[in-house]
Amino acid sequence: MQPIISIAGVSKTYATGFTALKDINLEIRRGEIFALLGPNGAGKTTLISIVCGIVNRSSGTVTVDGHDIGSDYRAARSLIGLVPQELTVETFETVKNVLAFSRGLFGKKSDPALVEKVLKDLSLWDKRDSKIITLSGGMKRRVMIGKALAHEPQILFLDEPTAGVDVELRKDMWALVRGLRDAGVTIILTTHYIEEAEEMADRVGVINKGEIVLVEEKTELMRKLGRKQLIVQLREPLKAVPEALGAYRLELSGDGNALTYTYDNQAERPGVASLLRDLESAGVAFRDIDTEASSLEEIFVNLVRKTP
Ligand SMILES: Nc1ncnc2c1ncn2[C@@H]1O[C@H](COP(=O)(O)OP(=O)(O)OP(=O)(O)O)[C@@H](O)[C@H]1O
């Protein structure tokens, strides 16, 4: 299937001479949730802004559903909804009018039924006649999403959708985004919260210092790069790891009461079954075994550290 967004050889050098993006190549698949991860200043907002036509690229091409964002800007832009990081809604306007007005800006015919549906999907219908200034922060965020959806875009960009949002609201937001994806909208979100990507994304891209360092299916990424640990709780404390178990490079912890074996899926180290056998032969009795898998957060931190 043709990707819904193709970014090829995109670079950006700002007027200050600072190069924020270097030769970005990225394809977004139709109907996916793609999470763009990266530390502060990595270039996430710059990249989104280029695709949305807010910032000019210095070189490269971007097409949105086949429309070039340079030569065919209006067609490309009308397919995109953007929810920026900052709340930028007209404070004295009513919720319903904000959506209706935004739809008009894209040259779309007024459609009260559509506005009603979007507001109901966002649990904002009760607030349709309220002025924005009277709403809570969480509601304002939902209005921003409604505003971005009012012209029925196929693609929704969410720049840090849950920054500064409490845990409860964050979960509501995740459910909402999943619902949009299920309705056929392609979602690209940037986030600092790795947990958010882990929870939501189909694919993950990592950007660091203006370069894409990795793009991968989330589950594949976690399988390939994730480390696992086996923690063996001992019956009797040990003073040192027995020499016979040297190949496992075990760590002794908890005052000698636990042994930790760290392995990954590409490890050349011997497997867990042989470790358990060898523990028995070495006369080390254990009372319990736990496993721990590394989170996307650890994987991400490692990746970003490795980039020069
Ligand atoms: N208009 C501008 N002029 C000069 N430099 C800029 C401009 N906008 C952004 N930059 C620089 O480009 C780099 C990338 O910024 P960008 O906002 O894209 O990063 P980001 O990954 O979105 O970061 P954050 O997570 O903090 O929002 C930063 O070093 C920033 O200072």
43 lines ligand 1 (CB under 6 A): yes
Predicted pLDDT of residue 31: 95
Pocket test for ligand 1, best of 22, 45, 50 (most atoms within 8 A of CB): 45
* Tokens 């429309």, residue located: 67
49 lines ligand 1 (CB under 6 A): no
- How close are the terminal C-alpha atoms of the chain, in Å? 35
Predicted pLDDT of residue 166: 75
Closest ligand 1 atom to 45 CA: 22
Task: Give the residue whose CA is nearest to atom 29 of ligand 1.
Answer: 41
What are the chain's domains?
5-223 (3.40.50.300), 227-296 (3.30.70.1560)
For residue 19, the CA-to-ligand 1 centroid distance in Å is 10
Closest ligand 1 atom to 42 CA: 21
CB within 8 A of 56, min separation 6: which ones? 50
What ipTM does the predicted assembly reach? 0.95
54 lines ligand 1 (CB under 6 A): no
56 lines ligand 1 (CB under 6 A): no
Cα separation, 24 vs 12, in Å, equals: 9
For residues 32 and 217, the answer to whether their CB atoms sit within 8 Å is: no
Task: Give the residue whose CA is nearest to atom 6 of ligand 1.
Answer: 14
Predicted pLDDT of residue 225: 64
Predicted pLDDT of residue 193: 74
CB within 8 A of 269, min separation 6: which ones? 247, 248, 249, 263
21 lines ligand 1 (CB under 6 A): no
Pocket test for ligand 1, best of 10, 11, 13, 18 (most atoms within 8 A of CB): 18
**How far from 56 is each of 20, 69, 94, CA to CA, in Å?**
12, 10, 33
List the chain pLDDT tens, one digit each, 308 residues.
789 999 999 999 999 999 999 999 999 999 999 999 888 888 999 999 999 999 999 999 999 999 999 999 999 999 999 998 887 778 889 999 999 999 999 989 999 999 999 999 888 999 999 999 999 888 888 899 999 999 999 999 999 887 777 777 788 888 888 989 999 999 999 987 777 888 889 999 988 889 998 898 988 876 666 667 788 899 999 999 999 888 888 999 878 999 998 876 555 556 777 888 888 888 888 888 887 766 666 667 766 666 55
Model-level pTM?
0.78
Q: Which two tokens stand for residue 301?
A: 């931190």
16 lines ligand 1 (CB under 6 A): yes
73 lines ligand 1 (CB under 6 A): no
3-state secondary structure string, the chain? Answer: CCCCEEEEEEEEECCCCCEEEEEEEEEECCCCEEEEECCCCCCHHHHHHHHCCCCCCCEEEEEECCEECCCCHHHHHHCEEEECCCCCCCCCCEHHHHHHHHHHHCCCCCCHHHHHHHHHHCCCHHHCCCEHHHCCHHHHHHHHHHHHHCCCCCEEEEECCCCCCCHHHHHHHHHHHHHHHHCCCEEEEEECCHHHHHHHCCEEEEEECCEEEEEEEHHHHHHHHCEEEEEEEECCCCCCCCHHHHHHCCEEECCCCEEEEEEECCCCCCCHHHHHHHHHHCCCCEEEEEEEECCHHHHHHHHHHHCC
